[in-house]
Amino acid sequence: MIKNKEVVHIAGSDEIKQKIYEFRYHIYVEEMGVNIKAGTEESKIIYDPEDDDENTAIFYIGKDHEITKTIRLQRFAPNSIPEKIIDEYSLHLFPKINSVSTSICSRLLISKEARGGIALISLFLAGYKYCLEHNVTFVFANCYPALVPMYRRIGFRPYPGKVIHIGDGIAVPVLFMLADINFLEKVRSPFLDDAKFLLKKYNIPQITKNPYEHLFLSQEISAEKEKDSLMNLMFDKISLGPNRNKPFLYSLRQESIDELFSSGVLLTVGCDTQIISDNRYEDDLYIVLSGIFDVTVDGKRIAIIREGEVFGELSFFIGSNKRSANIHSLSDGKILQIHSKKLRKIIGRNDSLAVDILLRLTESIASRVLSANAMTVYTNL
């Protein structure tokens, strides 16, 4: 059982809710630089219509009306999930989802000073207990790709749904099955013992056979399958002629490719999805496995990115975490997201890989600059 848990409250008064909306604005806009449209710039709040839904609970931690952590849970009774939610979270992958009570977990925010402690676990544990009390079976959420390992450690599992557009970025859909003790044991979830206790308290049987295990397994091995598929096509790609530059992925050594795939998160992207927004604070790297992506600056197209190519390399390479371009998908596709910290660890521990990866990133930047200049000249003719 978790000791020294922080006291978690459910927002009841309009005054507390207003403080939470202001806290959201502070974290999203002022700290993270997210271009989010909920609320107004004048009032400096972030409010969603679902905040006032009778089946929504907003949890928070704070003293003297100073909010430091918050999370929101929205419940749906059987056969009441809106089509928008079904589409957004790719719930068609779960055929019997409408036969049980479901919850959407969102707006998880923790102040910079309070991160790294017991706060996150306290919030999730309070939400877990709340869901059991309301007979919820599944809790869906989304998280930035870099946070997938953290969510998985808690008990959420990524599944092969399309990425979700949030603010001016993308997020991975994840699922927590409240009675799946086997998975909590597998990942050594910090509230495994509390979960066992609460399931017993509320007379809820543990899952012995997960009906959706095939989805989770397919997500875990799909990156390896994508790599194998691409490698089978590599010899065709690298024999395109002496005047054709090889895409980033196909110019790497096999050892480098293996390392990147093992460190990355595979994302399924729908057509017309914003992947990167200018002025957004982020410096992760993305490798296109399939699909076509558009790069624009100030509304002008400067490049088209295709299979095997990379984007986000400029922010990573120069050490700036503020994006300078917009990138969105022109088709359905798959991309491999590599968290900048993981990539720096790869480069830092292996000189041979560092030379290979950094050299190819440099070539990619040079090629992108030349292409952008050529496109500018062409459009000015």
Kindly report, residue by residue over 122-149, the tens digit of the pLDDT: 899 999 999 999 999 999 999 988 888 8
Relative to beta strand 136-143, strand 101-110 is parallel
C-alpha 142: how far from its chain's center? Answer: 6
- Asked whether the beta carbons of 173 and 219 are under 8 A apart, the reply is no
- The two structure tokens encoding residue 74: 């929205």
What residues of the chain score a pLDDT lower than 50?
234-235, 237-244, 376-381
How many angstroms separate the CA atoms of 137 and 99, rounded?
Answer: 10
The residue extents of the domains of the chain are 9-211, 217-380
How many angstroms separate the CA atoms of 155 and 180, rounded?
Answer: 9
CATH of domain 217-380: 2.60.120.10
Coil, helix or strand for 68? strand
The CB-based long-range contact list for 132-135 (8 Å cut-off, 24+ gap) reads 132/178, 132/198, 132/199, 132/202, 132/204, 133/202, 134/75, 134/101, 135/101
* Domain 9-211 identical in fold to domain 217-380: no
User: Quick one: 21 exposed, middle or buried, by C-beta within 10 A (0-12, 13-18, 19+)?
Assistant: buried
Coil, helix or strand for 200? helix
Answer CATH for 9-211 from 3.40.50.150, 3.40.50.2300, 3.40.630.30, 3.30.70.20: 3.40.630.30
Which region holds residue 291: left if phi is over 0, alpha if psi is between -120 and 50, else beta? left
The DSSP code sequence of 334-345 is: EEEEE-HHHHHH
Using alpha carbons, select from 212, 255, 274, 265 the residue that is nearest to residue 34.
274
Place of tokens 């000015």: 380
Query: Quick one: pLDDT at residue 106?
Result: 94
Relative to beta strand 169-177, strand 164-166 is antiparallel
Query: Quick one: pLDDT at residue 265?
Result: 85
How many angstroms separate the CA atoms of 45 and 34, rounded?
Answer: 13
The CB-based long-range contact list for 378-381 (8 Å cut-off, 24+ gap) reads 379/300
